[in-house]
């Protein structure tokens, strides 16, 4: 089997948001929609440290769909719009099947990784950007990171990985013990977010 995943080296991540911008441009995301964000220790605002003056610390946690091995969103979807690709392990949304019920949003333990497009999508720029294979954005549907399935299926890496100037993101098959990502996880150790939820997330944060 293949299970594509992303590992984030938090020692290298500088919180520049290049991964977020690369994702937005590649996938032609609507205005105000981000599939990839950066969480900081001190709260929801950008670049907010934790601690008090003179004793602060700041770490960055890139945050997007975890492409879980046991996705709660898929079980909650009544139409089969959310599915796990058997060849790649990537969790996708078929907007032709999505009825906008938002059951997947309620079921997902990772608050904020899915976006409900309530109104007609407004382009971030005055013209389309990114890949011609970027997903179509539709009113009253749910969307999220799809790990750049259109690129991965052609042998490329996700745009967020390619666009990281600090080389803090590693993409590969975690079911292959010889892959770079598997070897780094084995060597460095890792953490995943909300492991207790039991969904088997496939975004790893290297120690």
Per-residue pLDDT tens digits for 25-35: 999 999 989 99
| pLDDT value for 44 | 66
Number of domains within the chain: 1
Q: Are 102 and 116 in contact (CB under 8 A)?
A: yes
The C-alpha R_g of the chain, in whole angstroms, comes to 17
Tell me which residue range forms the domain holding 85. 4-206
Read off the DSSP letter of residue 35. S
Query: With helix as H, strand as E and coil as C, how does 66-126 read?
Result: CCCCCCHHHHHCCCCCEEECCCCCCEEECCCCCCCCCHHHHHCCCCCCEEEECCCCCECCC
Q: What's the CA angle centered on 21, arms 119 and 38, to 5 degrees? A: 90
Residue 202 in this model has a pLDDT that exceeds 70: yes
pTM of the model: 0.92
By mean pLDDT, which of 9-13, 50-54, 59-63, 136-140 is the weakest? 50-54
Check which CATH number belongs to the domain holding 185 and give it: 3.30.70.20
């Amino acid at each position: 089997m293949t299970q594509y995943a992303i590992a984030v080296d938090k020692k290298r991540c500088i919180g520049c948001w290049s991964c977020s911008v690369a994702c937005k441009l590649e996938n032609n995301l609507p205005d105000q929609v981000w599939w990839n964000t950066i969480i900081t220790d001190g709260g929801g605002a950008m670049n907010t440290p934790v601690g008090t003056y003179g004793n602060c610390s700041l770490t960055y946690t890139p945050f997007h769909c975890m492409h879980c091995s046991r996705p709660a969103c898929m079980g909650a979807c009544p139409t089969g719009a959310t599915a796990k690709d058997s060849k790649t392990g990537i969790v996708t949304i078929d907007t032709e099947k999505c009825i906008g019920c938002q059951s997947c949003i309620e079921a997902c333990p990772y608050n904020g990784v899915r976006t409900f497009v309530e109104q007609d999508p407004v382009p971030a720029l005055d013209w389309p950007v990114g890949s011609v294979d970027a997903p179509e954005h539709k009113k009253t549907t749910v969307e999220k990171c799809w790990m750049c399935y259109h690129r991965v299926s052609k042998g490329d890496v996700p745009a967020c990985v390619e666009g990281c100037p600090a080389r803090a993101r590693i993409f590969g098959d975690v079911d292959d013990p010889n892959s770079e990502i598997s070897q780094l996880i084995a060597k460095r150790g890792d953490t995943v977010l909300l492991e207790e939820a039991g969904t088997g997330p496939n975004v790893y944060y290297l120690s």
